[in-house]
Chain A
Amino acid sequence: MMKRIMASAFLMFFMLHPASHALDLRGITKHLDTLKSVVGATAKATRPISDEEEYFLGRAVAARVLGTYPLANDKDLTKYINLIGKTVSVSSGKPFTYGGYHFAVLETEEINAFACPGGIIFVTKGLIEMTANEEELAAVLAHEIAHINKRDGIAAIKSSRWTEALAVIGTEAARKYSLSDVAKLVTIFEDSIDDIFKTLIVNGYSRSQEFTADESALQYLAQSGYDPEALISFLKRLSGKGRPSGGGITATHPETADRIDNIAGKIPAGQADPRSVEIRTARFMEVQKPVR
């Protein structure tokens, strides 16, 4: 009798729930958390942004940057920085973004680099000319990738924008917006782009954001096989340039000496193979010839 009851119970259990799915008790906690978070969605939405939204913001910021600086039309150089950047990005904390990482060169002598939210990264020809080798160029790109990983561009958006956006989008699932909703969202979108653009071009990120990006860059460089010391050698060369009165990397970043001090004791252990560094420097020089 007992055996029959047990057998029936197990039979019912497996009929109700296909054997291909595992019993996952951890799921209970997560399920409860989900219910809790859906209930509290309004409160959470004070800073809501998905990777997809970040992508659309980043595209708009990139379009603004390209209205300020012309895009360089150098296919070999563009391909080269994409190869370096993509190599470093797979060793970063966020190898995948919604639209992926894309690297482009700006045709200006100004020494600068910009990370647009979502994954588009610009470096200027002036900066490329200043780097001594592939390691240093990788160091610059690693720093910019770190800004994307940490969503520093998104953090530049004033929190009031999120409150305004929330009033339009509410807490329900995705939907097609009415014309008046779209008009409101476009205004908020525009204001958010302004916030990011001003931070990238004029004000710069906070000291702590820059220091953290440098620290993360060291890790990405080491993990991808580049020499992390290259970040210090690049910064030392940069400090020799002084602070220009106009724009540029030194105008939007903390004092270069402070950046060097911050990372000096944080270089990851291990050393890049000198023969490999030589090979990389040779290919750097090859691509650089038309630039210099």
Chain B
Amino acid sequence: MKRIVAAIILIIIAAPVLVFAEQASVVTKENAVREYCRFFAPVVAPVRYKDVLDIVCPQDDWYKVRYKATEGCIHRTAVEKRSASFTGSTLPGRGAGSVSESEAALAGKGFNPQVEASYRKKYPAMKYNLVDRIEHENVSEKEIVSFITGGGLNQP
């Protein structure tokens, strides 16, 4: 009887260490939670850098995730697992109180917008205007899908 009571107490004490909510934060400027786990699948929720998603389960190269009120898929290279988040102490959303190891070491550090701004100020002749133009000249997902299917290529 004593052993059982001791075991139960141990479970209660140890439980906070054992229970983790698997979460991931977005590591790209912009991305999307998609209806199903395929590239170019319909978007159910747009996400941005550092948004935090609850991982439901992995599925091949994707994670099934929960974000705000929606569920869907995001590619695993678009997120980074947050491995030190405790259940009950964090909620999905920006600025949740948990960090992953590389986030702790790297996020926003070193070469960041502040450094770029100073560099540009120092070298005003650098062709950043053209770089911005290149980044803004985008093709839509619809066009990519049409290009893939029209050319008999594989849609991943």
* Genuine A/B complex: yes
Q: Give me the interface of A with B, judged by CB distance under 8 Å.
A: 2, 5-6, 9, 12-13, 16-18, 21-25, 27-28, 30-31, 33-35, 37-38, 41, 44-45, 48-53, 55-57, 59-60, 62-64, 66-67, 71, 75, 78-79, 82-84, 86-87, 90-91, 93-100, 102, 104, 120, 134, 165, 169, 171, 173-177, 182-183, 185-186, 189-190, 192, 223-226, 273, 275-276, 279-280, 283
A177 interface neighbour in B29, B114, B131, B134, Cβ under 8 Å:
B114
Taking the closest CB of chain B, its distance from the CB of A45, in whole angstroms, is 6
Say which residue of A37, A41, A67, A83 sits within 8 Å of B144 (CB atoms): A83
A34 to B84, CA, bound (A): 7
> Smallest Cβ distance from A3 to chain B, in angstroms?
11
What is the bound-complex CA distance between A169 and B119, given in angstroms? Answer: 17
User: What bracket does the count of chain B residues touching chain A fall in?
Assistant: 35 or more
Residue of B nearest to A184 (CB): B115
At the interface, yes or no: B126 with Cβ under 8 Å from chain A? yes
Residue contact A83 to B154, C-beta cutoff 8 Å: no
B69 at interface (Cβ–Cβ under 8 A)?
A: no
Q: Interface readout for B107-127 with A: 1 if CB under 8 Å, 0 if not?
A: 111111111101100100111
CA distance A39 to B139 in the complex (A): 44
- Can you list 27 A-B pairs, Cβ within 8 angstroms, ordered by A? A5-B4, A16-B12, A17-B15, A25-B18, A33-B83, A37-B101, A38-B101, A41-B104, A41-B105, A48-B110, A49-B110, A50-B27, A51-B27, A56-B115, A60-B116, A63-B127, A64-B126, A67-B127, A71-B130, A86-B139, A102-B138, A120-B131, A169-B110, A182-B115, A185-B111, A225-B151, A280-B151
Chain B residues 1-43 with CB under 8 Å of chain A are 1, 4-5, 8, 11-12, 15-22, 27-31, 39
Q: Which B residues are in CB contact (< 8 Å) with A6?
A: 4, 8
Is the pair B126, A60 in contact by a Cβ cutoff of 8 Å?
A: yes
Taking a contact as CB atoms closer than 8 A, the residue among A12, A64, A185, A276 that contacts B115 in the complex is A185
Q: Is the CB of B139 within 8 A of A182?
A: no
Contact of A97 among B22, B28, B110 (CB under 8 A): B28
Cα A93 to Cα B29 in complex, Å, equals: 19
- The CA-CA distance from A158 to B21 in the complex, in Å, is 39
| Cα A24 to Cα B107 with chains together (Å) | 26
